[in-house]
Amino acid sequence: MALVDLLGEESIKLRLENREKRALLAELVELLERSGALSDADAFLEAVLAREATGSTGLEQGIAVPHARSDAVRRPAVALGMAPEGVEFEALDGQPSRFFLMIAEPAEADSQHLEILASASCHLVDPAFRERLLEAGTAREVQQLFANAEGVALPPPSAVEGHLVAVTSCPAGIAHTYMAAERLREAARELHLDLRVETHGAAGVRDALTVEEVQRADAVILAVDREIGRQRFAGKPVLQVPVTDAIRHPRRLLLRALRQPVPQQEAGEARQDVDAFDGWGLYRHLMTGVSSMLPFVVGGGILITLSFLFGVDAADSQSPEFHPLAKLLVALGGTQGAFGLMVPVLAAFIGRSIADRPGLMPAMVGGFIAAQAGAGFLGGMVAGLIGGYGVLLIKWLCRPLPEALDAIRTILIYPVAGLLLCGSLVMLLVEPMTTVNSVLVDWLNGLNVGNRVVLGALLAGLMAVDMGGPVNKAAYTFGLAAIEAGNYFPQAAVMAGGMVPPLGLGLATQLFPGVFSRLERQSGRACMVMGASFITEGAIPYAVADPFRVLPACIAGSMLAGALSMWFGCQLLAPHGGVFVIPLVRQWPSYLLAIAAGALLTACLVVLLKRFVRPTAKPSKPSQPGDGTPGAKV
Instruction: Read off the pLDDT of residues 83-106 as tens digits, 9 standing for 90 and up.
Output: 998 999 988 888 999 999 999 888
Confidence category of residue 158, pLDDT binned at 50, 70, 90: very low
The residues that bridge with 194 in the sheet, in sequence order, are 163
Pairing of strands 63-64, 219-224: unpaired
Query: Considering only CA atoms, which of 295, 290, 288, 383 is closest in space to residue 338?
Result: 295
Per mean pLDDT, which range of 67-81, 361-375, 620-634 is the poorest?
A: 620-634
Q: Is residue 626 part of a domain?
A: no
For 315-327, the pLDDT digits (tens) are 888 888 888 898 8
At which of 442, 468, 499 does a domain end? 442
Residue 270's pLDDT band, with cuts at 50, 70 and 90, is very low
Instruction: Give domain status of residue 180, yes or no.
Output: yes
- Let me know whether 456 and 431 are in one domain: no
For residues 100 and 572, give the distance between their C-alpha atoms in angstroms, rounded to a whole number: 49
Q: Are residue 471 and residue 352 in the same domain, yes or no?
A: no
Q: Look at residues 252, 267, 282 and tell me which one is the last residue of a structural domain.
A: 267
| Strand order across the 204-206 sheet | 204-206, 194-201, 163-169, 219-224, 238-241
More confident residue, 390 or 203: 390
Better-scored residue on pLDDT, 263 or 494: 494
CATH of the domain at 130: 3.40.930.10
User: How many domains does one find in the chain?
Assistant: 4
- 67 is known as an active-site residue: yes
Judged against a pLDDT cut of 70, whether residue 625 lies above it is answered with no
**Confidence check: pLDDT of 297 > 90:** no
Distance CA 573, CA 488 (A): 6
pLDDT mean over 448-469: 84
- What does the pLDDT read at residue 205? 79
Q: Which residues of 547-583 are buried (b: 16+ CB within 10 A; e: fewer)?
A: bebbbbbbbbbbbbbbbbbbbbebbbbbbbbbeebbe
Q: Check whether residue 299 and residue 263 sit in a common domain.
A: no
In a domain, 281, yes or no: no
Q: Is the pLDDT of residue 269 over 60?
A: no
Q: Would you say residue 204 lies in a domain?
A: yes
DSSP result, 458-496: HHHHHHHHSSSSHHHHHHHHHHHHHHHTT--HHHHHHHH
pLDDT of res. 248: 79
- Asked whether residue 429 falls in the same domain as residue 475, the answer is no
Q: What is the pLDDT of residue 339?
A: 83
Residue 150 pLDDT greater than 90, yes or no: no
Contact between residue 198 and residue 314 where contact means Cβ atoms under 8 Å apart: no
Given a contact cutoff of 8 angstroms between Cβ atoms, the answer to whether 414 and 406 are in contact is no
Residue 38 scores a pLDDT above 90: no
Average pLDDT over residues 247-276: 65
The domain of 489 spans: 449-612
Tell me: pLDDT of 558 over 90: yes
Percentage, residues of the chain above pLDDT 90: 22
Q: Of 170, 422, 554, 604, which one is the catalytic site residue?
A: 170
111 in the same domain as 238: no
Percent of the chain with pLDDT over 70: 89
Is 10's pLDDT higher than 50?
A: yes
> Does residue 544 sit in the same domain as residue 591?
yes
Q: How far is the C-alpha of 505 from the C-alpha of 553, rounded, in Å?
A: 9
Q: Is 386 among the domain residues?
A: yes
| Long-range CB contact pairs, 443-447, < 8 A, 24+ | 444/482, 444/485, 444/487, 444/489, 444/490, 445/487
Quick one: average pLDDT of 180-192? 82
Residue ending a domain, among 215, 232, 267, is 267
Asked if residue 140 and residue 181 are part of one domain, the reply reads no
Residues 423 and 459 in one domain: no
Q: Is residue 618 part of a domain?
A: no
| Chain CA centroid to CA 355, Å | 24
Q: How confident is the model at residue 264 (pLDDT cuts 50, 70, 90)?
A: low
389 within domain boundaries: yes
For residue range 560-582, list pLDDT tens digits in order.
999 999 999 998 887 777 888 88
Catalytic residue among 67, 113, 176, 285: 67
The segment with the largest mean pLDDT, out of 91-95, 161-165, 293-297, is 91-95
Residues 421 and 460 in one domain: no
| Residues 538 and 599 grouped into a single domain | yes
Domain check: are 20 and 109 in the same one? yes
Measured CA to CA, the distance from residue 285 to residue 347 in angstroms comes to: 10
Same domain, 528 and 607: yes
Helix (H, G, I), strand (E, B) or coil at 401: coil
Is the model's pLDDT at 615 over the cut of 80? no
pLDDT band at 622 (very low <50, low <70, confident <90, very high): very low
Residue 617 lies inside a defined structural domain of this protein = no
463-478: per-residue pLDDT in tens? 888 776 677 777 888 8
Average pLDDT over the chain, rounded to whole? 82
